């Protein structure tokens, strides 16, 4: 996303700050990142949605809805889709926020 000024006088980034809580923004950012990495992994394997559907038993239209962002998969579905692509999910610590001298 760019920070260009919108005709309404605000950027999308600034506007969405007023609409969404930090938790909602984090959830959307995570979903976008997950879907993007999933598509990258499938493309890297030169595997079509149809071929992935055949390997996993998850119907191709379901995969298409996940990739378009119109459907949010369960973790079990995502794991099932990632396995034949050579990926899995992991929990990692958040980066530590740096404090400045004299700060909290």
Q: Kindly report, residue by residue over 56-66, the tens digit of the pLDDT.
A: 999 999 999 99
Burial of 43 (0-12, 13-18, 19+ CB in 10 A): exposed
Classified as helix, coil or strand, 85 is helix
pLDDT classification of 3: cutoffs 50, 70, 90: low
Within the chain, what is the greatest distance between any pair of CA atoms?
Answer: 58
Which helix (DSSP H) or strand (DSSP E) does residue 16 occupy? helix 12-19
On whether the pTM is more than 0.85, the answer is no
**pLDDT at residue 26 in the model:** 87
CA distance linking residue 55 with residue 81, whole number of Å: 9
CATH classification (class only), 20-85 = mainly alpha
- pLDDT category of residue 94 using cuts at 50, 70 and 90: confident
- The two tokens of residue 85 are 């692509």
């Amino acid at each position: 996303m760019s920070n260009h000024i919108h005709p309404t006088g605000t950027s999308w980034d600034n506007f969405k700050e007023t609409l969404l809580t930090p938790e909602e923004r984090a959830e959307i950012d995570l979903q976008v990142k997950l879907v993007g990495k999933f598509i990258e992994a499938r493309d890297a394997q030169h595997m079509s949605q149809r071929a992935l559907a055949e390997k996993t038993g998850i119907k191709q239209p379901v995969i298409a809805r996940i990739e378009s962002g119109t459907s949010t998969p369960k973790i079990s579905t995502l794991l099932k889709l990632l396995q034949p692509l050579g990926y899995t999910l992991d929990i990692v610590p958040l980066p530590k926020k740096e404090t400045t001298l004299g700060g909290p």
